[in-house]
A and B are shown apart, each in its own frame.
Chain A
Amino acid sequence: MTSTVTGAGIAVAPIDFTDRTLPNGLRVLLVEDHRVPSVSINVGYRVGGKDDPPGRSGFAHLFEHLMFKGTKNTRPETIDRLTEDIGGLNNAFTADDITNYYEVVPSNYLETLLWAEADRMGSLAVIEEHFHTERDVVIGEYDQRILAEPYGMLDELVNRESFVAHPYKRGVIGDPANLRAATLDDVVAFHRTFYRPDNAVLVVVGDFDPAQANAWIDKYFGRVPQPAVPIPRVETVEPPQTAERTFTYRAANVPLPAVEYAYHIPAWRHPDAAPLDIVETLLGMGKSSRLYQSLVYRQRVATAAHAGADLREHPGLFSFRAIASTATPIEKVRAALDAEIARLRDELPAADEMERVRTQIASSFVRSRQTYNNIAVALVRSAIERDDPGALNSDLDRYRAVTAADVQRIARKYLTVENRTTIEYLPL
């Protein structure tokens, strides 16, 4: 395999994948790698929180749970038994634009799991009782993650207040009242609408023979029919924001006051995505990052300070969150954050800081290439969220090309007051 020198002088072999599309529209990406005798199987569907049916916020996530509840051929929890009992694991996640299911199993079980994933793509047979139990589980998850977790609700609020038109405003976890209103008919309709081969990407990474794997994929996935009706897509475009929006919320489980700034940014496939990732790292990654050094370590106005570029299929958000340290008024935390943002706009980052950031980002990129499942998840996300799995192999080049002037340009372009939604999240 040839190595390309990328990033901060780092030689990284590209991920060598095959890419084909079955006649029924299923995109199949395979990475053969024999380091360990296991395989990772991912099936990602191009459906997420933004695609929830009207009045059914949180439905994509509820549906993810139901995909474990039985098919025409299998009893509930079959996937769990087919993985855990042979020393493997399985899980799934729902994000704004994607629902991804994955298994990691000893490589001799590849055919078994390909069959099982094709089986639940082709048929789902959930009974009323399981639907009700699982709906309660998902509502319980809402209680746990959103209501019981300190600052859990803040994540929801950021989406809700930052978007005025785009369905990203509903978030992924949804709304318990909407979930309670969901019916088994909704489940049937959702599977029919979105769980179809031409709306999915299958990725297999690991210890297998590609000819053999492809034959199994043709056999089990090839027979899942492609419906003739088109797949509904979100067409809503969020209008540009022209003035700051500010909100204050008070809640019971807020140990210390927090402030969140959320700025609209373009979609992941936009050329500004790489500099936005660089800005995220410069501000927020590690103890040497600007926010930690300034707010947490030197000024001690915050106990934690984060920055994150949430790049999605459609335009997403760049957010800052700082949690005040004890007895620090939130205004002081905001002033410290404002100063860091102003510094980004006014001063070019020094060459050694840029070099450190590029090294950090490249290192975490390489570290994440160590396991089959990480490679598979990265391919699925890149294929669905930016329509280009191969972009993974040029990410390091794009990071390397980001200059100090780009960082300043990005800050001036996106981190503006007019483009910002501000939420102060305070104790009762």
Chain B
Amino acid sequence: MPEPLLEVRDLKVSFHTEDGLVRAVSGVSFTLSEGETLGIVGESGCGKSVTMMSVMRLIIDPNARFEGEVLYKGVDLMKLSQDEMREIRGRGIAMIFQDPMTSLTPVYRVGWQIAEQIRAHERVSRQAAHSRAIELLSAVGIPHAKERVNDYPHQFSGGMRQRVMIAMAVSCNPDLLIADEPTTALDVTIQAQILNLIRKLKDDFGSAVVLITHDMGVVADIADRVAVMYAGRIVEQGEKRELFYDAQHPYTWGLLGSIARLDRPKPRRLTTIRGMPPSLINLPPGCAFGDRCPHRFDRCRELPELTDKLGNGHLDACHLGPEQKKDLREVTIHPELTPGPP
């Protein structure tokens, strides 16, 4: 088996705060091969962004503590100096952020900002970097790129700014593109365009992509594999088909149940996951989802391991057996379709 592009091993991130130790990420492991697209799904505050920000070593909070390994092409990023890390940021691994309205420095022309990144990593002239910026801008679908390259960020709409961000991210041909909720702040009509753009660039540039989102629809659209996170841990991980058609974790069922689907009879109302995610300070022992899980039983007091119970690379962290789950799943996702008390 070839060496994976990115391998995260037992990553733990915690923050010291006045209220106590916040365990934002408590033991996350996953691998990513070249050219692959991984979707990381979960509610706000479940540690998706912190995980990927830690991979980039972009968390500079002095109260943050990191454990575990992040192997990028076999090199542990956690052990690199800031200078070595800088070589990788933007060149090996690039990142797109959630809010394009605030992600560009307001006082510089967009072309200048793209050229700045190119010139931070390659010894090219100002002119060459500028023309590369124009090419990139037209590649991401900005009309009249030649003129717009000299515009300031505030002269672009949100969707266009996200295109600029994407152009910047791919400017140095990164192996890995991390997209942190790239469509959350955009209009629905623009969301699809941006996702298509990411998919197209992924094919053109051959980058692997990690897509962080809370939208199962986005994941279904673009990912090869999916990891579902809850309270700082991965609770289920597998191929996209597996995850959507044979979901194993009750939390995933909840996420799937809360999508309005057009290919099924219309339910009276969408299923919701009752309750709120637990506080990450003093997380109780046992399954973190236990308090919200409709199928909780005694063993849930122990922390479930993320293991491959089906024997096909589809991991989940739930004590229920695969046979039990088959019965419970439909009831949880589509209570309308099954007889019995709702």
Real complex partners, A and B? no
Binding site for B on A (CB under 8 A): none
Binding site for A on B (CB under 8 A): none
